[in-house]
Amino acid sequence: MATTTHSTRRLPVREPAAHVRGVLRAPFTAGTWRRAAYQVSALPVGLACVPLALCGAPTGRWQRALIRRLLGIDLAAGPRAGLAHALLAAPLNLVTAVVTLYGWSLVPMNLGWPLRAGSDHSDAWGGPTFAGAWAFHAVVGGLGFLLLMPWLGRGLTRLQTGLARRLLARPALTADAHAHADADGDADADAGGDAGADADAGGAA
């Protein structure tokens, strides 16, 4: 009687130390600053595209080019929705730009707290001593936001690109969709191979 063995795939498990290294390195990666650049530039570019789209300019192509250049996401050309995306994305782009600019500005403001502190530190966070107030601002407001903003930026950028996929491209034709399709196809092929092995084993039995 033939027996078959099935190989199981084990997903790689990141160790806690790897997670910590990822959090500490995130503020200093090129991807973080490219996302920040898109979060800030998406609003003025979108607003500029509104009158240009009314004049017949290819604003959808320009907005896709901005996403491709800063985020590395290649959106396949879809319907002519440059004006719709510029208008509908404006509220989200406004919130994203404000959060990005304010959040990142808190880092130097708090690390350099003594430059803007007065002579009386009794009412300051971490006071009443100068050293305590500076330590509190530097750790919580400076380092805290330095580590937080890259991950907050990822979430905001995911919302922005999700809206762009719906309005500027056909999702099934985006590069990301192709990658997911390839991954699903590999998984289906593996499943089919296992099913074929079961069938051969059954025939041999």
Q: What is the 3-state secondary structure (H, E, C) of the chain?
A: CCCCCCCCCCCCCCCHHHHHHHHHHHHHCHHHHHHHHHHHHHHHHHHHHHHHHHCCCCHHHHHHHHHHHHHCCCCCCCCCCHHHHHHHCHHHHHHHHHHHHHHHHHHHHHHCHHHCCCCCCCCCCCCCCHHHHHHHHHHHHHHHHHHHHHHHHHHHHHHHHHHHHHHHCCHHHCHHHHHHHHHHHHHHHHHHHHHHHHHHHHHHC
Q: What percent of the chain has pLDDT over 70?
A: 70
Average pLDDT over residues 122-149: 82
Highest mean pLDDT among 12-16, 33-37, 74-78, 134-138: 33-37
For the cut 70, the answer to whether the pLDDT of residue 120 exceeds it is no
- Residue in 154, 133, 159 with CA at minimum distance from that of residue 23: 154
Buried (b) or exposed (e) across 122-154, using 16+ Cβ within 10 A? Answer: eebebbeeeeebbebbbeebbeebbebbbeebe
pLDDT (0 to 100) of residue 41 = 95
pLDDT (0 to 100) of residue 171 = 52
pTM tops 0.85: no
pLDDT band of residue 151 (cuts 50, 70, 90) is: very high
For the cut 50, the answer to whether the pLDDT of residue 139 exceeds it is yes
Separation CA 107–CA 148 (nearest Å): 10
pLDDT band of residue 98 (cuts 50, 70, 90) is: very high
Regarding predicted confidence, which is higher, 21 or 78? 21
Highest mean pLDDT among 87-101, 128-142, 176-190: 87-101
Least confident window among 92-96, 163-167, 194-198: 194-198
Domain boundaries, the chain: 30-172
Token pair 């406004």 in the structure block, residue: 94
Q: How distant is the alpha carbon of residue 195 from its chain centre?
A: 38
pLDDT band of residue 99 (cuts 50, 70, 90) is: very high
For the cut 90, the answer to whether the pLDDT of residue 184 exceeds it is no
Q: Which two tokens stand for residue 139?
A: 């750790």
Average pLDDT over residues 8-22: 68
Please write the tens of the pLDDT for every residue from 153-179. 999 999 999 999 888 876 554 444 444
Q: Which two tokens stand for residue 64?
A: 């896709």
Average pLDDT over residues 39-43: 96
